[in-house]
Every structure is written in structure tokens, then in C-alpha cells.
Structure 1
Amino acid sequence: MTLHQEADVVVSPATDAIRIVPLHVSGDLLAPTVGPAAAPHLTYRNGPLLTNVKVFTVYWGAEWESSPLDATATDLDNFFGTILTSPLIDQLAEYGVAGRPIGHGSWIGRAVVTTPAHKHVVADTRIQHMLSREISGNAAFPTPDDNTLFFVYLPPGVAVVQGGSRSCQAFCGYHNNFTGADGSNLYYAAMPYPGCQGCTAGLTDFDALTSTSSHELCEAITDPVPGQGWYDDVNGEIGDICAWKSRKLGAYTVQLEWSNGAGSCL
């Protein structure tokens, strides 16, 4: 395998399940449906589901403590407080399985992490190490359980590398999992700040953040270990099929999500 060294991260080709928000290429932002080339259908792979997701927001960087990003962080917290009990979550009920129905979630708090200081390029492994350290040593962090989902937001100017690809070159966000110190799965989403046209697609920065966050939220609920929950081998996860097809839900811009039952993006 050929490896490419970039800054302090090693980039290698990815072969694992799709878990990213892809760059926007073209098409209308506000549309009721989308039809991929291959007819999509998610199938359940017997893995875990986040049946009543508990979102904890993590803002990595001292920039989040000062204007204007401090206001953006508060707005994102309010977004989760609203969206986790909204029709967006209601529509995921069709992906519940016997003994594990999918219902409303909750936003359970937030923390700003300032150490170690991030660099201009942050590897996915550094995000995992940061979360592990904070979970074990920061009283502001919750003790995670099978429904806990950490949303990690990076400030402007910080790129993320995951699976051999870099944000604003190949993706705008992703979700992932890793094994905690106690052997349990820890679930998280990594959200670089939208610093390129491919990650804003004509939306405001905040609307782009809520759209990509809703994409990863719904994917983490229905496929928290990528490829082991609800997945389509051709089209990926629930949000990939409908990438960059958005709508307004109250005050917030969210992405449409694939419905097996309706056979379309809703």
C-alpha cells in the first residue's frame, strides 16, 4: 500500500463503508426527491442502532470561546435541542427493529476543548484520542452509553483527514466509531467548518452546518458502526442517497433522508 505523508498525518486509500457527507457538485438545493442511478434500498446488517440518541456537542479550539463562533456554538446546541424531537427523527422509525424501536433523542450538553491545540490538519485518530482523554478526565463530559453520540466541531481553517481523504477536497463531515477503554463502542461525528464552496453549496455557513449535521445524525442513528446497521452496498447510508437535497424544518435547514417505505428522499 502506498502511503502519502501530509503534515503530521498519514493518508492511505480507504476501503471501508461510506460514512461521509460528500462535496456538493451540482443540482438544486431544495428539492423533494432525488433519484440515484442505482435503485437504492437499505438493508439491516444486524449491528447496533442509536434508538434514543443522546447528543453531546464538543467544540475543539479556543476560537469557539470568542465571537462570532461562541454564538454559532450556542445556535448549534439549540439546533440539536429542537431537531432531536422533530419529524426528522420521527421518520426514522421505519428503521427500528424488533426490541429496538427508534424514537426521539436529546441534547445532553456541550464542552469546549482547548488542549491540545489543534493544527491546520487534524487526523481522525487525533479526534479519537482527544475524545478518549476528555471522556476519562474531563468532568464536563458524560459517561457514554450505547446511545451517546459526540458531535465534534472544528473551527475555520482546520481540515480533517479520514480514510485517506481530506475535508473540502472529498468530504464535508463524517461519523465513525472506535473502541473505548472499557471495550465498548464510542460513537462520534466530525464536523469541519464549511470553508469551501463544495461544503456550503450556496447556503450560509450555519445552514450548511445544520444540513451536514443532520446528514450525519441520521446516519449515526441508523448505522452507528458504518456498514453494520442500515446500509446499501451501492449507495451507502441513509443520508448518502439524498446528499445535498435539503429542506427547511422550522427555522433550520436539514437534509432529506432516504425512506425505504416511500422509495424516495423525504
Structure 2
Amino acid sequence: MTLRLKLTLLAASLACATAAHAGVIKESKDSIFKPTGKGWGELDLDSMSHPEKAATLKARRTSNLTYQGGPVMVAPTNNVYYIWYGSNWDTGNGPASKSVLTTLAQSIGGSPYFNINTTYYNGSNTHVSNSVKLAGSITNSGTLGTQLTDANIQTIVTNAISSGALPLDSNAVYFVMTDSATTATSGFCTQYCGWHTNTTVSGQNIKYAFVGNPETQCPSACGANTPSPNNTPGADAMASIFAHELEEAVTDPDGNAWYSLQSGMENGDKCAWTFGTTSLASNGAKYNVTLGGLKYLIQQNWTLLPSQACTMQYP
């Protein structure tokens, strides 16, 4: 469910995840995996403990993505809310960085790139819409400090909703966009660059994501390249992480819709760190897509049509 670190880190994380369950159900060549929300799969212990269900899933086990019956975000428009977390967003290149990421959220919908997600559908054969709206944004100067746990990140989202700063919107993904001084203690820079998940607020299923800023903490691990297309290394890196999490949240919001039974990977995971054909900007930075008049280097996404593969556009 996230834009991850290099493949070596993914492999190490997967090994740790499976080892943790080794005493209960051992991993084998026929094991069934499900998404964790952080870029690697974990053994689907519930399914594997039920022989009939396990047999059905094993017959469908493949490295490709298959539909597992869960909800998909198929409303006419996919709303996005930004929570700018940390005080650095208002100093230095913070305002310019916010502008780069705001333009991305305002422009990604309707693009050939986001249209890839329209190849995904729910159980009623209703497809994802190629429409994204930046429906709102707020600033949180850092109320929970700079060392955020996963629970802290959830609290930032739920507090924003319960306080009325942002509306309760079950047809949206809330993004906690951290500044360069803030980290996530469950593995930012070492196991992931971002992630997405869901929770319940006032009886409604709410989708949210964490997108970390790697500019000073881990530029080589999470893609903060210099030069960067817009001369905002942290934001330019976050652009690809944002796209990754958005496309996963839309097609697999609860971790039980579209993913690979063989690995637990979602669409963004399948194409992490692949960018297709790139061009050079005037400052020498690589980019592969122009949105809202700005150049971005954004990872490819996994399409279901005409055959499953990584691509930068559909059709």
C-alpha cells in the first residue's frame, strides 16, 4: 500500500514479517499473502487456517493482481484532503513545496496517468473514475511532536475531522503530509516512504495515508533527488509517494480488494521505483509527466488492461 524503499529493503521486511508468524503457520511455496499497508505482504493466517478457503485462494494464487471482493472507491469523484503537519511548511522552501504538491492533487485527476485506475472495478463491475478533487487542506504545526507513531498519525486525521477542521468524508483519502523535521517511528526511511490504511470515524469508513518528507532524513532511500524537477527535493519526492498511496487507496482502500495473493502487493507496490521513459528538465532533473504546468518524476502504476503491467498511461 505504499511507495517503498529499494527492493532489498522490501525483501528484508517481508522476511521479518513472515518470520514473525513462523511458529503458527510456516511460509511455503503455496502461502497466501495479504497487504500490510506498508509495502510488503504478510501471511493471510485467517484464510490459511480454513482449508476450503485456502484451497480456493491457492488455485487463484498469482503474481498478478486479482479481485478479492472488498470495496473499491468508485464514486464520480475521489476527494483528497491534505493535512500539512509540522512547522517547516511555512518557512524556507516550505511554501514552494506546498504549491508543488497542491498543483499535483489539483491536476492528477483527468490525466492519462490517473486513468490507469479506471481499469479497476468493484463487485458490481463499477469502475474507478478518472476524477480527483483537492477538497480541502489544513495546517497542523506539530501538535504531537516530530516522532509520530502510527497511532499518532491516525489521531491527527481523526482530530482534524472531529474538530470540524475537515469534513467527515467517506469518499476521500486524508493525507498527512509531514515536513522535513518530522518522522514516523514505525519505519519511515528504513521500511517505507509512505502508507495508507483506514479507520472508522462516527460510524463511517475513513481512508487516510502518511506521506513522509525525505529531503533531509533519507534522500537516497525515498527519492529526494538533486536537482529535482521543481527545485523542491522533498516535495518532488513526496509527489511520487502521494501518487502511489492515492492509487492504492482508491483501488484497495481496506486491503481486501485488488492485490496479489502471491505477495500481498497492491498496484503501486508492483511498480515502485519504475519510471518508464524520462526526459530532462532545463535544470538537469529527470521527469516523466507534466501536470498543471509542472514537471514531476512519478512512478508507474499497474494497469489491468490490456494486460497486467506497469505503465504511465491508459489507454
Structure 1 stretches of 4+ moved >6 Å: 12-16
Q: Specify the alignment match of 2:198 in structure 1.
A: 177
Aligned counterpart for 1:151 among listed residues 169, 175, 183: 175
Per-residue CA distance 1:137-183 (angstroms, 9 max, x = gap): 133x12212x111111111132213xxx4111111111111111x22
Q: Which residue number corresponds to residue 243 of structure 2?
A: 214
1:118 to 132, 135, 145: 145
Name the % identity.
Answer: 28
Cα 1:68–1:202 shift into 2, 3 Å = closer
Query: Aligned residue for 1:30?
Result: none
Q: CA deviation at 1:72?
A: 0.7
Whether the aligned pair in 2 keeps the contact of 1:45 and 1:229 (CA below 8 Å) is yes
The structure that has the greater radius of gyration is: 2
Structure 2's unaligned 5+ residue stretches are 1-15, 22-33, 41-60, 277-287
Q: 2:121 aligns with which of 68, 90, 96?
A: 96
What is the distance in 2 between the residues matched to 1:132 and 1:201?
A: 29
Q: 1:229 and 2:229 equivalent?
A: no
Offset, 1:133: 1.3
The question of whether the paired residues in 1 share the 8 Å contact of 2:62 and 2:260 is answered with no
- Higher strand fraction (1 or 2): 1
**TM-score, scaled relative to structure 1:** 0.80
* CA contact 1:57–1:151 (8 Å) conserved in 2: yes
Q: Distance in 2 between matches of 1:50 and 1:88?
A: 17
Deviations 1:53-112 (A, max 9, x none): 100111011221223112211210111101122112211111123353211121112110
Matched, 1:249 2:249: no
Q: Does 1:64 align with 2:89?
A: yes
Match in the other structure for 1:258? 302
The 8 Å contact of residues 219 and 237 in structure 1, kept in 2 or not, is answered as yes
Report the CA distance between 1:50 and its aligned residue: 1.7
Aligned mate of 2:106, from 76, 81, 85 = 81
1:166 corresponds to which residue? 187
Q: RMSD of aligned C-alpha atoms?
A: 2.3
Which whole-Å CA distance do the structure 1 matches of 2:117 and 2:95 have between them?
A: 31
RCO higher in structure (CA 8 A, sep ≥6): 1
- Please give the alpha-carbon distance, in whole angstroms, between the structure 1 residues aligned to 2:73 and 2:249: 7
